[in-house]
Amino acid sequence: MEPGSGPPHRSDQAFFGQPRGLLTLCGLEVWERFSFLGMQAILVLYFADTVTHGGMGMSAGTAASVSAAYGTLVHLVSVVGGRLADRILGSYRAVLWGGILIACGHYAMAVPTAGMTWVGLGLISAGTGLLKPDVATMVGKLYRTDDNRRDAGFALSYMAINIGAFAGPLFTGWLGDHRGWHWGFSAAAIGMTLGLVQYVAGRRHLAGRKHAAEVTPPPDSPTLECARAGEPPPHQAIRVVAAGPVVAGLVATAVIAVRLAAADRLTVDRFVDLLTLVSVIATIAYFAVMFTSPRVTPEERGRLRPYIVLLLASTVFNFVLFQAYSTMMLASTNTERSILGFHFPAGWYASALGAFEVALAPAVAALWVRTRRRQPHASNKIAIGGVLGGLSFLLMVLPTLGQSAEGHLMSVLYDDVSQPAYFGVNGAIAVAAGLAVTAAAPWLRRTMHPVH
């Protein structure tokens, strides 16, 4: 049976008062995060481990950089995946094919060869780019705009994500530490397969068309009128340009990588640098397109300016956050990982992150509900997050004191300094970014008032 063409009836309250389709999507998100973050929790350790012990034999700095580049690629491809779902595939089919690619990628990584590792990472990046942006879209389609269950439904979806983030590293971390890294990748593959099975089995409860694009122009739109007349639709060039930065960037990256590889000049570090450059250029290009597009009014253009500040602050925060799966994981290998005589894998620190999110998310949500109109503006919340993220790095200075840079180099940017200096410098930058947003908060509130 195909997914329905519209939201289910309000009487559908099979899952904690929510539509039955939410259970299907929550199940998919649990297993997708189980596989993705379970794999990512041991990925940098696998890269940095010796070849004789089943790893890739990279230096710690290179391992952290490659792990970060992989995360960058996933988010770049997500932009393309979202447009494919909107214009061609439809959400259901985009999520299905994305899940299949992810599962195939994990199975490829379960094969103990370096070549299959790179193939697997490529497949997972492409699959996540299709799946991740469209699951949230499908959750939204389960509700009509006036359905007061909508916020609670998204809260349950977010909880499912965190459950997967907690459980995945527990399994993959233990298997990687005790049985071998590729056993951990196998567990991730099995998890994604289970998620796909229950997704297909529950498809009749989902809203949305399986084979149709999500964006349909209205009957009186110029696009359809031009189509009837056999002429190209207006603003088609603008839409192409809007999608162009990431697509062109990925194509350029592939072309340059192939040419460098043919000349025996492509190294892992150079590829990481190339991908970093592409991500920066794509971001600048997106803002350039939005600011210069004739479809953007002067009023809308004015509202875009605050998002440049918030983008920079969010970039600094995520710089800290995503190192929980790279540099922080490497740093944890220098710690005493025993509690009451029980030695636990380094990958379990990633599970701690998911556990804290599961525990704290309801408390923070309740705080915002309780404060109501007195709660901080969105810009202040981002500033608070940036400061807290920076403080987490500053706290890492203490346990790493006395350790030289010879053991685990955290980044190619700091190959010649110690771990305390690395965490101290980056923590201070994150705190400063949060304080800068706080200082700009009055301007942000005035400018964003019509939106937030």
pLDDT for residue 21: 82
> Residue 224 pLDDT > 50, yes or no?
no
pLDDT on residue 227 = 47
Closest CA to 138 of 106, 177, 105, 91: 91
* Both tokens assigned to 118: 């790179």
The residue range of the domain holding 264 is 236-294
Q: What is the pLDDT of residues 334-382, one digit of tens each?
A: 667 777 777 778 778 888 888 887 787 777 777 776 776 777 777 788 8
User: For the chain, what percent of residues have pLDDT higher than 70?
Assistant: 75
Q: Are residues 74 and 188 in the same domain?
A: yes
**Residue 226 domain flag:** no
**Position 220 pLDDT exceeds 70:** no
Residue 131, Cβ density class (10 Å: 0-12 exposed, 13-18 middle, ≥19 buried): buried
262-279-163-183 Cα dihedral, nearest 10 degrees: 10
| Number of Cβ within a 10 Å radius of residue 228 | 7
Comparison of pLDDT for 127 and 158, the residue scoring more:
127
| Number of domains, the chain | 3
Helices 60-84 + 114-140 axis angle, to 10: 40
Position 10 scores a pLDDT of 53
Mark whether 288 and 387 lie in a shared domain.
no
Q: How open is the CA angle 206-126-196, to the nearest 5 degrees?
A: 35
pLDDT band with cut points at 50, 70 and 90 for residue 237: very low
Q: What is the mean pLDDT of residues 87-106?
A: 87
Same domain, 192 and 88: yes
- d(CA 335, CA 402) in angstroms, rounded, equals 13
Query: Do 269 and 164 share a domain, yes or no?
Result: no
**Of the candidates 436, 66, 69, 82, the residue with the CA atom closest to the CA atom of residue 280:** 69
Whether 240 and 259 share a structural domain: yes
Of 76-80, 233-237, 367-371, give the lowest mean pLDDT range.
Answer: 233-237
Same domain, 181 and 330: no
Q: Which of 155, 185, 217 is the last residue of a domain?
A: 217
Predicted confidence at residue 102, as pLDDT, reads 93
Supply the pLDDT for residue 356: 83
pLDDT at residue 255, rounded to an integer: 63
In this predicted structure, what is the pLDDT of residue 293? 81
Q: Are residues 288 and 411 in the same domain?
A: no
Provide the CATH number for the domain around residue 119: 1.20.1250.20
pLDDT for residue 11: 54
Reference 6, options 23, 24, 19; nearest CA is 19
Residue pair 23/31 in contact (Cβ under 8 Å)? The answer is no
With bands split at pLDDT 50, 70 and 90, how would you rate the model's confidence at 189?
very high
Of 155, 187, 217, the one marking the end of a domain is 217
- The answer as to whether 371 is a domain residue is yes
Residue 160 lies in a domain: yes
Per-residue pLDDT at 130 exceeds 80: yes
262 C-beta neighbours (distance < 10 Å), count:
9
Q: Any idea which of 43-52, 101-110, 374-383 has the lowest mean pLDDT? A: 374-383
Closest to 407 in 3D by CA, of 327, 349, 293: 327
Does the predicted model carry a pTM greater than 0.85? Answer: no
212 & 109 share domain: yes
What pLDDT does residue 412 have?
Answer: 43
Indicate the residue among 268, 294, 320 that finishes a domain. 294
Q: Check: CB of residue 383 under 8 Å from CB of residue 310.
A: no
Mean pLDDT to the nearest integer, 401-421: 51
Q: Using 50, 70 and 90 to split pLDDT, how confident is the model at 5? A: low
Q: What mean pLDDT do residues 130-155 have?
A: 78
Three-state SS letters, the chain: CCCECCCCCCCCCCECCECHHHHHHHHHHHHHHHHHHHHHHHHHHHHHCCHHHCCCCCCHHHHHHHHHHHHHHHHHHHHHHHHHHHHHHCHHHHHHHHHHHHHHHHHHHCCCCHHHHHHHHHHHHHHHHHHHHHHHHHHHCCCCCCCCCHHHHHHHHHHHHHHHHHHHHHHHHHHHHHCCHHHHHHHHHHHHHHHHHHHHHCHHHCECCCCCCCCCCCCCCHHHHHHHHCCCCCCHHHHHHHHHHHHHHHHHHHHHHHHHHHCCCCCHHHHHHHHHHHHHHHHHHHHHHHHHCCCCCHHHHHHHHHHHHHHHHHHHHHHHHHHHHCHHHHHHCCCCCEECCEECCCCHHHHHHHHHHHHHHHHHHHHHHHHHHHCCCHHHHHHHHHHHHHHHHHHCHHHHCCCCCCCCCCCHHHCCCCHHHHHHHHHHHHHHHHHHHHHHHHHHHHHHCCCC
Which residue has tokens 């009128």?
225
* Domain assignment present for 227: no
Phi, psi of 40 (to 5 degrees): -65, -25
Model confidence at 140, in pLDDT bands (50, 70, 90)? Answer: confident
198 part of a folded domain: yes
| Range 94-110 average pLDDT | 91
The whole-number pLDDT of residue 114 equals 82
Is 223 a domain residue? Answer: no
Q: What is the mean pLDDT of the chain?
A: 76
Query: Does residue 208 share a domain with residue 170?
Result: yes
**Percentage of the chain modeled with pLDDT above 90:** 9
351 and 263 within one domain: no
222 found inside a domain: no
Query: Do 175 and 261 lie in a common domain?
Result: no
Q: Which residues pair with 342 in a beta bridge?
A: 339
pLDDT at 89 over 60: yes
* pLDDT (mean) for 305-332: 79
Question: In angstroms, how far apart are the furthest CA atoms of the chain?
Answer: 77
Which amino acid is present at 313? Answer: A
Q: 9-40: per-residue pLDDT in tens?
A: 555 566 667 778 888 888 899 999 999 888 98
Q: What is the pLDDT at residue 193?
A: 94
Residue 168 to residue 348: CA distance in whole angstroms? 9
Asked if the structure places residue 6 within a domain, the reply is yes
What is the reported pLDDT for 7? 54
* pLDDT score of 352: 82
What's the confidence (pLDDT) of residue 380? 80
Amino acid identity of residue 416, one-letter, is D
Whether residue 219 is predicted with pLDDT greater than 80 in this model: the reply is no
What Rg, from alpha-carbon coordinates, does the chain have? 23
Q: Are residues 288 and 310 in the same domain?
A: no
